[in-house]
Amino acid sequence: MTTRAVLVGAGGLGGPLALSLGAAGIEVSIFDPDVVEASNLHRQIQFTAADRDKPKAMLLAGAIVARGGHAHGHVAKWPPADADELGRDADIIVDGSDDPVTKFAVNDWAVANGRLYVIASALRYGGNVMVGAPGFACYRCLFEEPALDAPTCSDAGVLGPVVGAIGGVAAALAIGLTRGDRSHAGSIFVFDDLRAFVDPRVVRFAARRDCPACARAPISPFQTPPVRVAAQKGP
Ligand SMILES: [Zn+2]
């Protein structure tokens, strides 16, 4: 059976994510409202100067198709008005956007619809990747609200290879999720400075009792049966 992914963002993180997911045989629906600008090219290495002013989502979907994969581009922000229809067949939603509001929208849609998800962020020399699945703590449990004053790559910058590294990690974790690996669900991988130190801190966190996304989840992290510990044999 074909595995299907929604990918949000076709920029620096979206490039390696899309090509890796597509090469793994996953059908990818890519959402990004933007066109390629010359200032993108240092970190969005899937594009060339000849791509300027063309929509990123369509170019990236075309790159997957040119490699024998299956993809569709949507020149739109996530979530579009018909998100539930467009995402109906998606097994997983992966965020590589550069916008905190979009990341929370991805989280809330995934949690409300009981989907697997991965949310990746990169800034300056590091970044993080959150792995989510139904029944586990979500992105909103951890970060609560979008930080609207958070710097973005367009204004604070990001080292080109950093988005490649974070995007590659996010793709590997997403592919693992689609193949049944839940060992990192409810965890965030934090990369402080990829120039100096590649090992991430991996932090598993608990669901927040008053998280509005988890309160509406079809599979709530609060209803998941506790892990049973085998009874200890007496001495
Ligand atoms: Zn939550």
Distance 210 CA to ligand 1 centre (A): 8
The residues, any chain, with a CB within 8 Å of residue 114's CB and separated by 6 or more, are 134, 217, 218, 219
Q: What pLDDT is stored for residue 47 in this prediction?
A: 97
Ligand 1 centre from 132 Cα, in Å? 10
Q: What is the pLDDT of residue 225?
A: 52
Distance from Cα 121 to the centre of ligand 1, integer Å: 18
How far is ligand 1, taken at its centre, from the CA of residue 101, in Å? 15
Per-block mean pLDDT, blocks of 10 residues, the chain (235 long): 96 98 98 96 94 98 98 97 96 96 98 97 95 97 89 79 96 98 97 89 95 93 61 51
Whole-number Å distance, alpha carbon 48 to ligand 1 midpoint, is: 39
Q: How far is the CA of 220 from the centre of ligand 1 (A)?
A: 9
Centre of ligand 1 from the C-alpha of residue 144, in Å: 8
Q: How far is the CA of 148 from the centre of ligand 1 (A)?
A: 19
Could you tell me the distance, in angstroms and rounded to a whole number, from the CA of residue 102 to the centre of ligand 1? 16
Report CA(109)–ligand 1 centroid distance (Å): 12
From ligand 1's centre to the CA of 187, what distance in Å? 12
3-state DSSP of the chain: CCCEEEEECCCCCHHHHHHHHHHCCCEEEEECCCECCHHHCCCCCCCCHHHCCCEHHHHHHHHHHHCCCCEEEECCCCCCCCHHHHCCCCCEEEECCCCHHHHHHHHHHHHHCCCEEEEEEEEECEEEEEEECCCCCCHHHHHCCCCCCCCCHHHHCECHHHHHHHHHHHHHHHHHHHCCCCCCCCEEEEECECCCECCCEEEECCCCCCCHHHHCCCCCCCCCCCCCCCCCCCC
Calculate how far, in angstroms, residue 108's C-alpha sits from the geometric centre of ligand 1.
Answer: 8
Going from the Cα of 233 to the center of ligand 1, the distance in angstroms, rounded, reads 37
Give the distance (Å) from ligand 1 centre to CA of residue 30: 25
